């Protein structure tokens, strides 16, 4: 099969086309003929040598795919050859064929193409598990999404808006802010020209938001604590602004705040299977009803994966970048 290898840690140019044997599914895995694969920040980190591959996972990049099941392991019960699926993978998505545990696959939502479906798994699993499972965003509560125009951001805005939550977002340009509002954010704040903390407090009559989904960290954290409501929850999913910060512990105590975070790739298969079940029950009907839509900024042929990475590293995109086969 054709695939993209990381020849050595480095810049986008280290992604090189290669050929490898087609993998075989283990007992509880399915083999998918890949039609499209999403590009995500962890792929960038893996290429740079900053994201170790979990034991037993493919060393090829690519954490989400869509395509057709071509073979099933001996114990697979959920799928059969010919089924159209999108799936979260342990790695190996930048290839013509990819194996993944059967419980990490979901049916391709009705009305979506494989290209659109490939943009869903990584961000939808991440947002659901952090915003709704970990941060327990409840009906009627509010959410601030940092980086609202990113792949995670456009997913979080749409998901929370469709679930009836009040949504705010930050982004780095007026164009990106406008896109966030169009996707369902009540207000989008240009973090380069506005103080997001002051804007949030003004928009919430001084009460603050209930949950903040943060992929920045660094010097955002003290400001975030100030614009969280009593009993608010701050959840980290990345540290694009730095992994160290200072915080006022009395702010945490006074408002009874909770600070948490997670990474998705190292989590057990059973955990990811439970998230898939939640998405299938709660979110897939909203996608099929058109209340949540894939947001794809640009596509590239598999052989041009390095160009896709270059684009992602500019942070110019609004939504997802997808590789096609």
Domain ranges of the chain: 2-120+266-324, 124-261
Q: Which CATH number fits domain 2-120+266-324: 3.40.190.10, 3.40.1180.10, 3.30.70.520, 3.90.180.10?
A: 3.90.180.10
> φ, ψ for residue 126 (rounded to 5)?
-65, -50
Task: Give me the pLDDT at residue 240, please.
Answer: 87
pLDDT along the chain (325 residues), means of 10: 98 98 98 98 96 91 98 98 98 98 98 98 98 96 97 97 97 97 98 96 97 95 96 95 92 97 93 98 97 97 98 95 97
| Phi, psi angles (nearest 5°) of residue 202 | -65, -40
Q: Is domain 124-261 classified as CATH 3.40.50.720?
A: yes
Task: Give the SS3 label for residue 151.
Answer: helix
Question: So what's the pLDDT on residue 299?
Answer: 98
Average pLDDT, the chain: 97
pLDDT at 200: 98
* CA proximity to 50, closest of 9, 99, 2: 9
Q: Is 88 helix (H, G, I), strand (E, B) or coil?
A: strand
Q: What is the enclosing helix (H) or strand (E) of 16?
A: strand 15-19
| pTM for the structure as a whole | 0.95
DSSP at 274: H
For 185, the 3-state DSSP assignment is coil
Q: Closest by alpha carbon to 274, among 137, 101, 141, 111? A: 101
């Amino acid at each position: 099969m054709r695939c993209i290898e990381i020849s050595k840690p480095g810049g986008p140019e280290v992604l090189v086309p290669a050929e490898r044997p087609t993998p075989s599914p283990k007992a509880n895995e399915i083999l998918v003929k890949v039609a499209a694969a999403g590009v995500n920040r962890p792929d960038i980190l893996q290429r740079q040598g900053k994201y170790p591959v979990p034991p037993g996972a493919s060393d090829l990049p690519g954490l989400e795919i869509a395509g057709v099941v071509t073979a099933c392991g001996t114990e697979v019960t959920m799928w059969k050859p010919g089924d159209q699926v999108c799936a979260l993978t342990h790695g190996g998505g930048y290839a013509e064929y990819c194996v993944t545990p059967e419980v990490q696959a979901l049916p391709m939502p009705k009305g979506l193409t494989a290209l659109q479906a490939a943009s869903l798994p990584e961000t939808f699993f991440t947002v659901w598990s952090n915003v709704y499972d970990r941060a327990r965003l409840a009906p009627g509560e509010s959410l601030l999404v940092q980086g609202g125009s990113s792949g995670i951001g456009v997913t979080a805005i749409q998901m929370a808006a469709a679930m009836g939550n009040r949504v705010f977002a930050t982004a780095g340009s007026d164009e990106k802010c406008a896109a966030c509002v169009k996707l369902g954010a009540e207000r989008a704040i240009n973090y380069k020209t506005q103080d997001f903390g002051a804007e949030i407090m003004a928009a919430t009559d001084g009460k603050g938001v209930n949950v903040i989904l943060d992929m920045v960290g660094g010097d955002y954290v003290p400001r975030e604590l100030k614009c969280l409501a009593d009993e608010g929850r701050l959840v980290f999913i990345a540290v694009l602004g730095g992994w160290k910060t200072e915080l006022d512990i009395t702010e945490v105590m006074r408002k009874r705040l909770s600070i948490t975070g997670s990474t998705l790739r190292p989590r057990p298969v059973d955990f990811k299977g439970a998230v898939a079940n939640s998405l299938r029950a709660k979110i897939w009907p909203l996608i099929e009803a058109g209340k949540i839509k894939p947001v794809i900024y640009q596509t590239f042929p598999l052989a041009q994966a390095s160009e896709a990475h270059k684009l992602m590293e500019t942070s110019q995109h609004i939504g997802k970048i997808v590789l096609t086969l």
